[in-house]
């Protein structure tokens, strides 16, 4: 993926706090609309770019909570009291109303991990209680699912480097974005360049534009199933390099907040991975971070990756789209899905401000047993 080298002026964060912001909770909106100087309810969660430096991540042993849920006689019982449970598509995504995620006990959180693994994506509406409990609660929530990833370049709330923030408004963006493309769609699995990329991931918006800014998801399990058995058998023998270098360069060039707190890394992952709990096999390449297939000639690698990316891009029959009504929390399993922001609102003055809780999972397990993952 190419990015522009254009450097935009980035206002100090203090100025961000005075910008016109529409809170995700409609009760926060003034009747007359914009109130440029009003105190922003989520000012404490605006992106801060510390100059801290972090050492390389150490390996850690991930125990997936979904395994515990498998022992439960009814691992979907956490949904028993829901008002509505709707499958967004047959392949991907479940939308739920009437469950307060913040009140789930440890067993319920385990079950949630299993259900997100099975459905790839879950959308929970009416989660104001969760969102308003604040950053200490977000960390406590995320740690149930694994060691929290600290992003090497993104903005975080002051004092909370484990929370990854997205922020864009009509004047500026602190996101990793492509400016010289005909589309803002960039399918990816979050920070797949890490040795242990994330599994269950939680994301919500604090502030949303009145229209636009939906998030797109696709099932990498369904994408794999569409391919011929002969081709899948070949793909399972392959491994690919995932790189964080370009994302770091984006920041080093003065974009985002201009900081790189941990040296960028590259790691080799299987092209087809197996989910540790469900056993589902999923494509694990993405246009944003995957760079080349190990051991193939350049043209071979490029042709295969292009074919897979085109397949991911255009297969709407694997995809789901989430509209951000206020107080929505979305969870996806980064091991079996890909997603893309949809920056169709960049001409609008409205802000889009969100937070992600990103526990790391296991090192990707090859679908082909015994695949050597050394580079």
* Residue 191 C-beta: closest distance to Fe ion, Å: 8
Cβ proximity to Fe ion: between 177 and 190 the closer is 190
2-10, 183-191, 216-224, 238-246 -> range binding Fe ion (CB under 5 A)? 183-191
Piece of the chain touching Fe ion by CB under 5 A; list 58-66, 120-128, 149-157, 184-192: 184-192
Nearer to Fe ion, 19 or 206 (CB): 206
Point out which span in 49-57, 169-177, 185-193, 248-256 binds Fe ion (CB under 5 A): 185-193
Q: Is 124 helix (H, G, I), strand (E, B) or coil?
A: strand
How many residues sit close enough to Fe ion to count as binding (CB under 5 A)? 1
Q: Could you say which of 190, 194, 280, 281 contacts Fe ion (CB under 5 A)? A: 190
35, 57, 107, 229, 261 from 60: Cα distances, Å = 46, 9, 23, 34, 20
**Per-residue tokens: 22:** 């529409």
Q: What are phi and psi of 228, to 5 degrees?
A: -70, 150
**Part of the chain binding Fe ion (CB under 5 A), chosen from 56-64, 188-196, 299-307, 362-370:** 188-196
| 141 contact partners, CB below 8 Å, separation of at least 6 | 101, 102, 109, 130, 202, 357
Find the shortest distance in angstroms from Cβ 70 to Fe ion: 28
- Of 216 and 371, the one with the shorter C-beta distance to Fe ion is 216
Is residue 177 a contact residue for Fe ion (CB under 5 A)?
no
Query: What is the rounded distance in angstroms from the CA atom of residue 11 to the CA atom of residue 31?
Result: 28
Contact 95, 311 (CB under 8 A): no
Which lies closer to Fe ion via its Cβ, residue 190 or residue 280?
190
Complex with Fe ion: residue 111 or 328, whichever CB lies closer: 328
The residue (of 127 and 189) whose beta carbon lies closer to Fe ion is 189
Shortest distance, position 257 Cβ to Fe ion, whole Å: 17
Closer residue to Fe ion (CB): 222 or 358: 358
Q: How far apart are CA 202 and CA 332, in angstroms?
A: 7
- Stretch binding Fe ion (CB under 5 A), from 145-153, 190-198, 248-256, 272-280: 190-198
- Shortest reach from residue 263's CB to Fe ion, in Å: 21
Question: Which residue of this chain has its Cβ atom nearest to Fe ion in the complex?
Answer: 190
Give the DSSP per-residue string, 32-89: TB--TTSPPTTGGGS-B------PPPPP-----HHHHHHTSS-TTGGGTT-SEEEESS
Using CB under 5 A as the criterion, which residues of the chain lie in contact with Fe ion when the complex forms? 190
């Amino acid at each position: 993926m190419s990015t522009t080298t254009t450097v935009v002026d980035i206002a100090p964060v203090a100025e961000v706090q005075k910008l016109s912001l529409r809170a995700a909770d409609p009760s926060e909106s003034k009747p007359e609309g914009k109130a440029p100087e009003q105190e922003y309810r989520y000012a404490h969660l605006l992106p801060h770019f510390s100059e801290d430096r972090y050492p390389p991540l150490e390996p850690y042993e991930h125990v997936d909570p979904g395994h515990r849920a498998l022992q439960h006689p009814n691992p979907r019982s956490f949904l028993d009291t829901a008002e509505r449970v709707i499958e967004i598509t047959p392949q991907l995504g479940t939308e739920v109303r009437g469950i307060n995620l913040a009140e789930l006990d440890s067993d319920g959180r385990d079950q949630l991990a299993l259900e997100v693994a099975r459905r790839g994506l879950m959308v929970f509406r009416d989660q104001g209680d969760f969102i308003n409990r604040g950053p200490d609660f977000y960390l406590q929530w995320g740690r149930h699912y694994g060691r929290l990833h600290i992003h090497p370049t993104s903005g975080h709330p002051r004092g909370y480097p484990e929370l990854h923030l997205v922020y864009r408004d009509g004047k500026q963006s602190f996101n990793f974005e492509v400016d010289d493309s005909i589309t803002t769609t960039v399918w990816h699995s979050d920070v797949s360049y890490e040795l242990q990329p994330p599994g269950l991931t939680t994301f919500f918006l604090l502030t949303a534009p009145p229209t636009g800014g939906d998030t797109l998801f696709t099932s990498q399990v369904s994408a794999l199933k569409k391919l011929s058995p002969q081709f899948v058998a070949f793909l399972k023998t392959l491994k690919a390099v995932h790189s964080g270098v370009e994302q770091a360069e984006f920041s080093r060039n003065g974009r985002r907040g201009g900081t790189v707190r941990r040296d960028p890394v590259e790691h080799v992952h299987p092209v087809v991975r197996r989910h540790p709990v469900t056993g589902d096999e999923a494509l694990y390449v993405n246009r944003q971070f995957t760079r080349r297939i190990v051991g193939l000639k350049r043209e071979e690698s490029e042709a295969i990756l292009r074919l897979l990316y085109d397949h991911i891009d255009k297969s709407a029959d694997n995809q789901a789209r989430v509209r951000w009504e206020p107080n929505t929390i979305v969870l996806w399993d980064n091991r079996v899905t890909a997603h893309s922001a949809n920056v169709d609102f960049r001409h609008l003055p409205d802000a889009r401000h969100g937070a992600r809780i990103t526990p790391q999972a296991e090192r990707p397990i090859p679908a082909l047993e015994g695949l050597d993952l050394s580079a």
